[in-house]
Structure 1
Amino acid sequence: ETIEASAFKGCSSLATVTFEQGSNLKTIGGGYSSESYYEAFYGAFSGCRALTSIEIPASVETIEASAFKGCSSLATVTFEQGSNLKTIGGGYSSESYYGAFCQLENLMTFDAAACTQLQSIGDYTFYNCSELRLFKIGTETPPTYGTYALSGINPYSVLKVPSGCADAYKAAYGWHNFASITGLDE
């Protein structure tokens, strides 16, 4: 049910991750230490530099801080239909940022259209994903938004939300970083 923190950390040649149909995975682990003398992060897939895309199983409810930090080639993240995702973690210290997907310079598409239960996006989750151009989300009520969760994304990025929910996202704190916010069917 859990891929523990650091499970595949630094597997720089890991290029493909495939989950079994009907997976029971609930948590993709991660975390960080912000001790002033020791800065470290512990994402399950952090530093997997050859990973270019991943489809997260529907059973996953939590993606913890730093889970994919340092996956410099990761360009596409998608979620299986019927996703149970509720939380995407993040965090920061005075020295660094620990968002689950932060500082991924090649991340272009985050397709969470299948995620209808997402409740929170943590601090610095997508911070400085400068190529992020398309962000889809299936949650009708905008998830709570952590500090700088979407700061530094591509200035021409598009947010696609459920039909009739664009105004709610435009009014919600933090979701203004997108060049346009439209319905998933538009």
Structure 2
Amino acid sequence: MKRMLQVTLLTISLLAGACNTKSEDPQPLPTDDLSVKMEDPLFRQFCLTNFDTDADGKLSRAEADAVERIILSDPEITSLQGIEQFTNLNTIACGATNITTIDLSACQHITAIKTNAFAECRQLTSIVLPPQLTSIGDSAFDACSALQSIELPATVQTIGAKAFQACSSLSAIRLPEGVQTIGEKVFNGCSALSDVTLPSTLSEISSQAFCECRSLAEINIPNGVIAINDLAFTNCPSLRTAVLPSTLQRIGEFAFGTGSSNLSVICYAVVPPKAPNTWLTFPEDMPVSVPAESIDAYHAAEGWSHFTNIQAIE
């Protein structure tokens, strides 16, 4: 009887152990299919259709490493999760798609965002740019109306015309030291833009660069800039203060619009910058602060002489 009880207990113990083993979650098997990293099924299918060269229904490391360009046009694609698998990628474009966020920080070989690359991605709220980026092409982010923030890498040198035009949700932009050129209308129509930082490496503010930036209250142009071109800050009704550098030589026609009773100008240039039709429609009593030794020169200079409230910078 005792022996039978021991056998029964041993049997129950073994059965219980077997049941416990079966109830454990199975461990995922390793996979060599990189396409499983892509959460958007349409993006995954695009990659398999275009880059699965051996047609085995998988994306191998060798196949991913062979990819240098990705050009997307399917408006139903919402995520590029998995893009980091393409380590040799040097060109990407997906204009007019419904992607919401992009992280290109792992794409070491992308040095340029091409013309129209992300234009009209109206659902895009944020993007992390490649760390070696040197240029942003014309209209690269044109009409990305939901884009709220973007950080430019320190390596960026040129930004093309209309690159961020009509990014109406963008509230702040910092151009890093090293940026030498910004194209016409680069931030035109960025109606929420209220915080702008410009680098000393910039030589000109292009025509209509900040046109229709209706939330911009102050602009501080750094030393190094020699020209502010036509209509650069026109239709910026909130602009109250413009600080102009000692290096400034020329201000274009209607660079600050067609006249505002609220604007005050601080100009550090000892020699009055040429200002053909710049201030033509501004009130005569607009506050203008200049170097003390240059007050008489400003009173006599074409484009400045009609101002009656020229005073020394404090």
| TM-score normalised according to structure 2 size | 0.45
1:6-155 equivalent positions in 2, closer than 5 A: 6-20=139-153, 23-30=154-161, 43-80=162-199, 83-90=200-207, 99-112=208-221, 115-138=222-245, 140-152=246-258, 154-155=260-261
Letter in 2 for 1:50: S
- Residue deviations 1:79-133, cap 9 Å, x none? 24xx11101211xxxxxxxx11112222211122xx2111222221111211111
RMSD: 2.4
| Offset, 1:70 | 1.3
| Offset, 1:166 | 6.5
The change in CA–CA distance for 1:119 and 1:151 in structure 2 (over 3 A counts) is same
Runs of 5+ in structure 1 lacking a partner? 31-42, 91-98
SS at match of 2:149: coil
SS at match of 2:272: helix
SS at match of 1:85: coil
- Residue deviations 1:138-170, cap 9 Å, x none? 2x14332222211235322122233xx47725x
SS at match of 1:168: coil
1:96 alignment counterpart? none
| Offset, 1:174 | 4.9
Asked whether the 8 Å contact 1:65–1:89 carries over to 2, the reply is yes
1:158 alignment counterpart? 264
SS at match of 1:159: strand
| Offset, 1:55 | 1.5
Letter in 2 for 1:3: I
| Offset, 1:12 | 1.0
Runs of 5+ in structure 2 lacking a partner? 1-133, 292-312
How far apart, in 1, do the equivalents of 2:204 and 2:211 lie?
15
- How many equivalent residue pairs? 156
Letter in 1 for 2:196: V
Asked whether the 8 Å contact 1:135–1:157 carries over to 2, the reply is yes
Name the % identity: 29
The change in CA–CA distance for 1:174 and 1:118 in structure 2 (over 3 A counts) is farther
Asked whether the 8 Å contact 1:49–1:71 carries over to 2, the reply is yes
Letter in 2 for 1:104: C
The change in CA–CA distance for 1:2 and 1:167 in structure 2 (over 3 A counts) is same
Higher-Rg member (1/2): 2
Q: Which moved more, 1:140-149 or 1:99-108?
A: 140-149
